[in-house]
Amino acid sequence: MRDEGCMVKITVMVYTTLRARLGFSRTELEGGTVHELLLKLAVSGMTDISKMLFEDDGAVRNHFVLTLNSELLDNRKTKKVKVKAGDILHVFPPVSGG
Amino acid sequence: MCLVTCMPLSRQESERYSRQLIVPGIGLRGQAKLKNASVLVAGAGGLGGVVLAYLAAAGVGRLGFADPGLLELSNLNRQIFYKTRDLGRAKVRLLASFLKDLNPRVRLEPLRLKLDSENLAPLLKKYGLVADCTDNFEARFELNKACVRAGRTLVHGAVYGFEGQLAVIAPRGGPCLKCVFPHMPPRLKGYTPAPGPAPGAIGAMQAAEVIKIICGLPHLRGRLVIYDFAHGAAHSVRLKRRRACGVCGKRDEG
C-alpha cells in the first residue's frame, strides 16, 4: 500500500450506465491518485465494474470522459494525477439518446 | 445584407415576437437576424421536435429537418408534437404540418432521409447552423465530421434517462465532438431510457443556444454541460482540443 499521508478523501460523481451498475450517482472515496480512486470506485458499488471501466492493460477505457474539478483528464495519465482533499472527480460516458 | 438586417417588422410580426423583442440582446436587430437565419435540425424525435418548435416560434427564417422515420407508438411518451391518430406516417411530414400551424411565415424544408457522409456535405452548404438531435453515435460522429469540414457550428444535445448533455461545437479551432469523445462506446443492449421531460428540457436548451448564436449573444461555445435532472445538478466542462484528433486535428481522415 501507499504511504497513508498520500490518501485524501474526494467526491466521485458517475453518470448513465455507471450509475445503473454501481447503484449510486455520488460517493466519497480515499486515494492518492485518480487511478487509485478509479480502482476503488470499480469495486465500491452493487456490481464490480472493473471490466467496464478498464482495459486489460489497466488503462481507463477511452470512451469514458474524466474530469477533475471540471478539467478534462487524459485517460492514459491517471496514475500521474494526484488529488487533493475536497476534489471532485466526474466519470461519464458519451450519451446518444434523442 | 445590412438592408435586410435593418428591415422593420410588420405589425403582426411585432406583436407575435413582442415578448422576445424586449429581451436584452435580441430586440429588432436580433429578430431580423433570426428571420435571415437558416438551421438544419438532424432528427425529428424528442430533441428535434422541441428544437424545431422553439425555432419556428422564434421566427427563424428557414428550417430544414431530416429524419427517415415513421411515427411509432413508443415515440409518444416524449414526442409531444405528434398525435396518436398519426401512427405510421412520416415524421418530417407531420412535423412540417405542426410547425406550419405554429408559424406560417417560416420556410420549412422537411427531408425524409437518413443523413450520411454523402448527403451531408451538399446539404450543409444550404444552412448556416446545425442542431444535432439524432439518436445514435454513428449519426452524431458523422454529423460532427461533416460540420467541421463545412465550417458549420453544431449544437449538440443528447439524453440518457434523467440525464442530458449539451455542447456548442464551433467549426474552426475546435474542439469538436471527437476531441471530447474520441472513441465510440460499446453498443448498448436494448433501448435508451427516455423519460419525456429529459429530451424536452435539453431540446429547449439547444434551441436557446441556437437563438443566442444567431443573435450574437454569449453562448456555450467550447463547453459541455451535463445536466442531472435526477438530482437537480449541472456540471460544466471546458472542452480541450486534441491535437491528434482525427476530425479537427492535423489533416485528415477520422
Q: What is the mean pLDDT of residues B8-20?
A: 95
**Residue ranges of chain A whose CB lies within 8 Å of a chain B CB:** 13, 15-17, 25-26, 61-63, 65, 67, 70-72, 90, 92-98
Q: How far apart are CA B190 and CA B37, in angstroms?
A: 38
What digits encode the pLDDT tens for the residues B137-180?
A: 999 999 999 999 999 999 999 999 999 999 999 988 779 999 88
B200 has a chain A CB within 8 A of its CB: no
End-to-end CA distance of chain B: 37
Task: Decide if A67 and B235 are in contact by the 8 Å CB cutoff.
Answer: yes
Q: What's the confidence (pLDDT) of residue B2?
A: 47
- Strand A88-92 with A65-68, pairing: antiparallel
C-alpha distance from B150 to closest chain A C-alpha (Å): 22
Q: What's the confidence (pLDDT) of residue B187?
A: 79
Q: Burial of B28 by CB count in 10 Å (0-12 exposed, 13-18 middle, 19+ buried)?
A: middle
Please give the C-alpha separations between residue B85 and each of B43, B45, B71, B219, B241, in angstroms, as whole numbers.
21, 17, 10, 39, 47
C-alpha distance from A50 to closest chain B C-alpha (Å): 15
Confidence tier at B251 by pLDDT (50, 70, 90): low
Interface confidence, given as ipTM, is 0.84
Grid cell 442542431 is found at: B131
Q: What's the confidence (pLDDT) of residue B197?
A: 97
Q: Chain B partners of A93 at a C-beta cutoff of 8 Å?
A: 185
What digits encode the pLDDT tens for the residues B21-35?
A: 999 999 999 999 999
Torsion of CA B197, B77, B211, B239, to 10 degrees: 60
CB atoms near residue B215 (< 10 Å): 21
Q: What's the confidence (pLDDT) of residue B188?
A: 76
Ranking A5-9, A35-39, B135-139, B201-205 by mean pLDDT, the lowest is: A5-9
The answer to whether residue A5 scores a pLDDT higher than 90 is: no
Grid cell 422515420 is found at: B69
Q: Burial of A58 by CB count in 10 Å (0-12 exposed, 13-18 middle, 19+ buried)?
A: exposed
- Strand B38-42 with B129-132, pairing: parallel
B159 has a chain A CB within 8 A of its CB: yes
Interface A-B, measured as beta-carbon pairs within 8 A, has a size of 88
Q: Model's pTM, two decimal places?
A: 0.92
What digits encode the pLDDT tens for the residues B89-125?
A: 999 999 999 999 999 999 999 999 999 999 999 999 9
Nearest to A63 among B183, B230, B236 (CB): B183
Nearest to B48 among A25, A95, A98 (CB): A98
What digits encode the pLDDT tens for the residues A59-84?
A: 899 899 999 998 889 998 999 999 99
Confidence tier at B254 by pLDDT (50, 70, 90): very low
Q: Is pLDDT larger for residue B137 or for residue B186? A: B137
The mean predicted confidence, pLDDT, of chain B is 93
Confidence tier at B184 by pLDDT (50, 70, 90): confident
